[in-house]
Amino acid sequence: MKRLRRILLNTVAAFSLLLCLATAGDWVNSYGHFWNISRDTADTTFTITSDLGAFYFLVTDPALSAHGVTFGYFPQSPTSVPPIENQYGATVQRWLPIRILRGRLVLATGRDVPHWVFVSLFAIPPLVRFRGWRRRRRASVAGTCPKCGYDLRATPERCPECGTVPT
């Protein structure tokens, strides 16, 4: 059971590290290119956009977009469309963790979440696993009991505190 738990936690940490690196890469890329994915239903359009250091999760009127699922990847240029905040009459504040956007010019509502929030969240599981690995390694190298941390220099064959036989 412990082995299965360790394998599961290592898999989660590895996947989380992969997502962290991918989000960090998209963060850097978002200043040169932007992408969006849209999905239309009968009464609303859901859109996810990565642009200028933030993810935007928007719900708009389907009359404003094409039907079905669409994907777009476009280069940023000085003449390209201004940041989404300008369309909603909001100021650009990407240091805030989450902002709610309500459209004045467009019939839409949405959330603005900076990339740094996702990079930070995805970095937590790998850091926790690395910290535990480092703690276990220090305990085993220092001549202490791997279970309770008792100093085993006087009794190296068995821990007098918990009875564990060190390996």
- Break the chain into its structural domains and give their ranges: 2-119
Kindly report, residue by residue over 122-158, the tens digit of the pLDDT: 999 999 999 988 887 776 667 788 778 788 888 888 8
Backbone φ and ψ of 60, nearest 5°: -130, 175
Give the residue among 25, 31, 62 at the shortest CA–CA distance from 45. 62
Displacement of CA 128 from its chain's centroid (Å): 15
Kindly report, residue by residue over 2-29, the tens digit of the pLDDT: 899 999 999 999 999 999 999 999 999 9
Task: Quote the DSSP letter at residue 6.
Answer: H
Asked whether 55 and 22 are in contact (CB, 8 A), the reply is: no
d(CA 119, CA 139): 31
pTM for the whole structure? 0.70
